[in-house]
Amino acid sequence: MNDSPEINRRSLSFAQVEGDEPLPSQLALRQLSQEVRAKLWALIWEPLKQMQRNSQVSDDYARLSDPWQSIFMRWHINVLHKFPDDFDIKIASHIKAKRRLFETGSYSEVLTFVEFLVRDRQIPSAYPRAFNVLLEQCRTAYRLIDLSIMPLASRRMR
């Protein structure tokens, strides 16, 4: 049973209150739940989907625009160490690749990508805070501090 004072009734399902499902608990280091992966991905997926909707062509042919095109190009070259002429500007290919990263990547691969995004000079200003709020709400053992993802040694350190 979790005796954390941070848990309030509104954040619990009926099944959790009744003891049929476990209460939320702090995730251990080196762990990302399906919930946090899905919510972090949603923050990135939404602007990409919006770009597709605003495109004059079908989803399969819609192209990235800035700031995402420049941000993903820097990821492609500076982190993946791939050649710039191999960069695919189709939104659909980035949705597929980035979703795969969030769905099946290791915790360090996912958090490395998130940290890269928040450090990028073109990332929309609301993103660092939004990422940090999700890390906290989903009870990960990590927080964004000065644009770096840092592990929490214990819950008391917050």
pLDDT confidence bin for 62, thresholds 50/70/90: confident
- Closest Cα to residue 147, out of 155, 102, 101, 127? 127
> Tokens 């979790």 map to which residue?
2
Residue 158 in contact with residue 152, Cβ under 8 Å?
yes
Which pLDDT belongs to residue 157?
45
- Mean of pLDDT over the chain: 85
For residue 1, pLDDT beyond 90: no
The pLDDT score that the predictor gives to residue 155 is 46
At 135-149, the pLDDT tens digits run 998 989 999 999 999
HSE (CB half, 13 Å, CA atoms) of 72?
Answer: 20
What's this model's pTM, rounded to 2 decimal places? 0.80
For residues 91 and 59, the answer to whether their CB atoms sit within 8 Å is: yes
Angle (CA) 10-153-98 rounded to 5° is 70
Over residues 67-111, the pLDDT tens digits come to 999 999 999 999 999 999 999 999 999 999 999 999 999 999 999
